[in-house]
Structure 1
Amino acid sequence: MGVCTSQDVPKNQNTEDDYLKLDFNRISTYQKLEDIANKIAAQQKIDAIFSSLIQRIIASRQTHILNLLENIDVKKKQKFLTRLERIDFELIDSLFHHCYKQNKVDAFQCNVIQSINCQEQNLDLIKENKVGIILLCGGRSSRFYDKLLGDIGLPSQKCVFQIIMERLKKILMIANENREIIDYPIGILLSDQNSERLQTYLKSQKDFGFKQISFLQQKSLPVIDDKGQVVFEQESEAIMTPEGTGTILLQLNSFINKFPNMEYIHFLGLDNLVGLPLDPKMLNLICKQKADALCKVIETNSILDDRLFYQNSQFKTIEEQDSSITENSYNQTQMCLNDLYLSVSFLNSLKQNHDKALRLNQRFHSIKRGTVIQFEKHIQDILEVTDLTILYSTDDYALLIDDPKKAVIQLSNVHKRYLKLEGTLEDDLIEISPQMSYCGEDLQKITNPTYPMII
């Protein structure tokens, strides 16, 4: 990431003058740094084995952490420092200076085909197990606690994870003429923050009848403040956040190798209540166009999320595939959903292209929420290194960001359109079960409905 510039050093009793005298361009500095670290270890009555960690803390301008040691019981200091050893202070320091502090706008560009109103389906790819799915369940639920497994206010009281898994089972049965499928390429991306709970839930549901589910794990990075310092809660616990869905690209080889027949992978986030696993219309579109990637997008006049990185101006080539798309269609901002299809052949070719892979691996986004900053890699960044991406515009979305009530109403309104019902009143909730219909095509118009309604 480059050489990090210096910043003001927080006060630390008895050693501030020593820090300011350090010159990291001189070999003698490292000996001085070691001496300072050994001195601190002796003063704090901790094992000298932590001397290298203390040196890293000082070099990364995280000396406020040393102040915390003053208030921690001697018996707990070793456990505290052991947890700190897992933190990549050097990476955080570099990201603060070169990703956040420079405040550069993301120069994200890619070649795209715009598409809407796709009607043809491809069920053969699903039937022949040629398309796998990875559910992007990693996250910290910092804005809405228990987003995946909690009651979000649906009439059925189902959680988001259950709905998505039931939709997945439904499309597999449709593709296989109502024959239940138990062996299918399914992966789930988890984070340190939710891994244990989600796996426990899956066991309680007997993995929804699936024979084998692969788990992929996100690493975590600490949250920092606007001075670049790691933020702690309860004084001795660093606040950690998942490193983002983009980290999954480094773990895909093992998943792909398990299923040599696989030609496409669907990466689906669970923040859209209308998300369709293995959408056969999207599979037909990406296969027919022989594209590297396909991503669903929505058009909006408002920023629905504070992570709006992918906009019209960033797509440098736009070819109108559908005559109904006009220039007026681009007046609104386009936002990529966490709903991405990738060609396995493209992923394999990417491994051979060092320049593209390096560019992708080094991209981080800085996200500021209130007074804290976090860094993430996003899987959508892969669009920048594709030769051809399809952006599919959809009106069917219900984003579960930080307002579950609004998302439930949006989902109800989508289901009302399926049933040809009018009205968008908050109390007139309708929920269509995945077992009844995958995407509303088999439903008949209902007269004299009573609410709330579960179909």
Structure 2
Amino acid sequence: MPDYRAILRDALSPRLERDLTLLPSVCLSDIPEEGPFGRVIREPSVAETRTLFDHGIRELCNGGYALLILSGGLATRLGAKLPKAALPISPVQGKTLIQLHLERVRRLEALMKPGTPNLPVFIMTSRFNHDAIASYLKSLNYCDLHEGQVVLFMQDTAPYLQFNGHDFFPTSLDGSTVAEAPKGNGDVFNALSRCSEFMDHLKCMRMLHVIAIDNALSRPLDPELLGLALRFPGIEVLNKCVVRRRGENVGVFCLGKVPCVVEYSELEKLPDASFLNGSSTVYGNMCDHLFSGEFLRRIIDERLFELLPYHAAKKALMSSNATGQPAESNGYSLELFIFDVFQFASRLLCVEVNRDMQFAPVKYRADCDMSNLLSVQHRMNNVARQWLESAGAILGDGFFEISPSVSYCGEGLERYSGMHLEGTLYIE
């Protein structure tokens, strides 16, 4: 067993670079001669995205692409008994997050030419939710994907530690067992190295798209993202990002010796954070990453993931003799972050996307409260309305939901041109 007390001491010690700046940004049409790496490409135009999408769809038909969904977390901030993957979230049908992601994959396959390979989907779980997610997927018939096409694999756990840095949280009266939590999304590389199905695919993998389970507007295996990556030979990592709102709980893309992300909970630890308050645009991390197969093979074959640092996150936990959930944080969880692998990439790029169309994370109870106008349901409704209006529909009041089996990102809605639509409407 690792020395988690020593790991915690290291995680709590200052290690952030002093001379961090923000990643510079550039338009896709103004890529400098020295190349785009280490930059953010500002949101491409509509014409550019159409070209990228078409290129990406053609490339998906060639095979060698796979999706990975990070779903090992405990969803403690939601206070839900169900895994986050199985939370009903869509505004009309109450579809779950995992349904939305897998149905979008199915839509992509429908857009690809007949006879092309299926798109493999890997889902990282933990021992806390693996059985529930596996059972739920089976009840959904894998959203009409082939059973063998969807592979679940488990990440590791680490014990919680009390604030004194020495004691664990016992879960039995004799202290023989202690409370544990998943090791964070950065444990994905270690977990993948033990997944035989993934390692078989990795041999000829071109790119792996990694998304978080909680983004209801995520575009799995996004053809636009693939099309953009293919413009830059040798690219190792391509990240989606959004313009960060002041105080928003998302990590920040920065530039030090190499491009990196500073997690929002660690911004206060920066020796000098004044660069975040200037006039330059601050870009936030969406946990939406495209990795090249070559880069992943190096990370796993050379076991570079073993060099990733742990981060200490404050948590509110109760032990076996507690009478209820503590009102304040009373311990630490130890987590690995996927973005720390960026240190091994020399050809990394970010692309800005439209927050309203592509970023609606489910983090807190308010995010799925229909009475909250900023909830995920309202944001999904806004996307559906925009797609329908772009197709020429005339909309009245109401809630709209478009099945991913009908449209991946607004295509295929031409038949609604000129139609008057209102009320609660599910389009399938």
Name the CA shift for 1:380/1:429 in 2 (closer, same or farther; >3 Å): farther
Name the CA shift for 1:106/1:151 in 2 (closer, same or farther; >3 Å): farther
Larger Rg: 1
The CA distance in 2 between the partners of 1:238 and 1:188, in whole Å, is 26
The DSSP-based 3-state class of the residue aligned with 2:138 is: helix
- 1:136 is aligned to 70
Tell me the CA shift for residue 199 of structure 1: 0.8
Deviations 1:33-69 (A, max 9, x none): xxxxxxxxxxxxxxxxxxxxxxxxxxxxxxxxxxxxx
Letter in 2 for 1:283: L
Name the CA shift for 1:361/1:298 in 2 (closer, same or farther; >3 Å): same
Return the structure number with greater relative CO, CA threshold 8 A, min gap 6.
2
State whether structure 2 residue 56 is matched by structure 1 residue 112: no
Letter in 2 for 1:247: D
Letter in 2 for 1:433: S
The CA distance in 1 between the partners of 2:17 and 2:377, in whole Å, is 32
Identity of aligned residues (%): 19
What TM-score do you get using the length of structure 1 for normalisation?
0.68
State whether structure 2 residue 280 is matched by structure 1 residue 331: yes
Tell me the CA shift for residue 265 of structure 1: 0.8
Alpha carbons 1:112, 1:315 under 8 Å: kept: no
State whether structure 2 residue 149 is matched by structure 1 residue 206: no
Select 1:400's aligned residue among 351, 358, 362: 362
Give the alignment of 1:300-315 within 5 angstroms: 300-305=244-249, 308-312=250-254
Alpha carbons 1:397, 1:411 under 8 Å: kept: no
- 2:154 is aligned to 217
State whether structure 2 residue 169 is matched by structure 1 residue 231: yes
Tell me the CA shift for residue 300 of structure 1: 2.0
Cα RMSD after superposing both structures: 3.2
State whether structure 2 residue 339 is matched by structure 1 residue 380: yes
The CA distance in 1 between the partners of 2:89 and 2:130, in whole Å, is 20
The CA distance in 1 between the partners of 2:256 and 2:419, in whole Å, is 46
Tell me the CA shift for residue 234 of structure 1: 7.2
Deviations 1:402-440 (A, max 9, x none): 12231222222222222238xxxxx94322110110101
- 1:246 is aligned to 186
The CA distance in 2 between the partners of 1:353 and 1:219, in whole Å, is 20
- 2:421 is aligned to 449
Tell me the CA shift for residue 315 of structure 1: 8.3
Letter in 2 for 1:241: A
Q: Any stretches of 5+ residues in structure 1 without a counterpart?
A: 1-87, 319-326, 422-426
The DSSP-based 3-state class of the residue aligned with 1:148 is: helix
Deviations 1:297-356 (A, max 9, x none): 111223443xx44334558679xxxxxxxx9997343211121110011222345667xx
Tell me the CA shift for residue 280 of structure 1: 0.7
Alpha carbons 1:246, 1:377 under 8 Å: kept: yes
Name the CA shift for 1:184/1:448 in 2 (closer, same or farther; >3 Å): closer
State whether structure 2 residue 361 is matched by structure 1 residue 415: no
Letter in 1 for 2:136: Y
Name the CA shift for 1:366/1:328 in 2 (closer, same or farther; >3 Å): closer
- 2:265 is aligned to none
Letter in 2 for 1:196: D
Q: How many residues align structurally?
A: 347
The DSSP-based 3-state class of the residue aligned with 1:112 is: coil
Letter in 1 for 2:345: T
The CA distance in 2 between the partners of 1:275 and 1:186, in whole Å, is 14
Name the CA shift for 1:187/1:248 in 2 (closer, same or farther; >3 Å): same
- 1:363 is aligned to 309
The CA distance in 1 between the partners of 2:184 and 2:418, in whole Å, is 42
- 2:103 is aligned to 166
The CA distance in 2 between the partners of 1:163 and 1:401, in whole Å, is 17
The CA distance in 2 between the partners of 1:220 and 1:330, in whole Å, is 41
Alpha carbons 2:126, 2:154 under 8 Å: kept: yes
Deviations 1:233-262 (A, max 9, x none): 576663321101211212434414245332
Select 1:192's aligned residue among 118, 121, 127: 127
What TM-score do you get using the length of structure 2 for normalisation?
0.72
Tell me the CA shift for residue 220 of structure 1: 0.7
The DSSP-based 3-state class of the residue aligned with 1:434 is: coil
The CA distance in 2 between the partners of 1:330 and 1:140, in whole Å, is 37
The DSSP-based 3-state class of the residue aligned with 1:267 is: strand
- 1:270 is aligned to 213
Q: Any stretches of 5+ residues in structure 2 without a counterpart?
A: 24-36, 261-275, 316-327, 370-374, 391-396
Alpha carbons 2:69, 2:123 under 8 Å: kept: yes
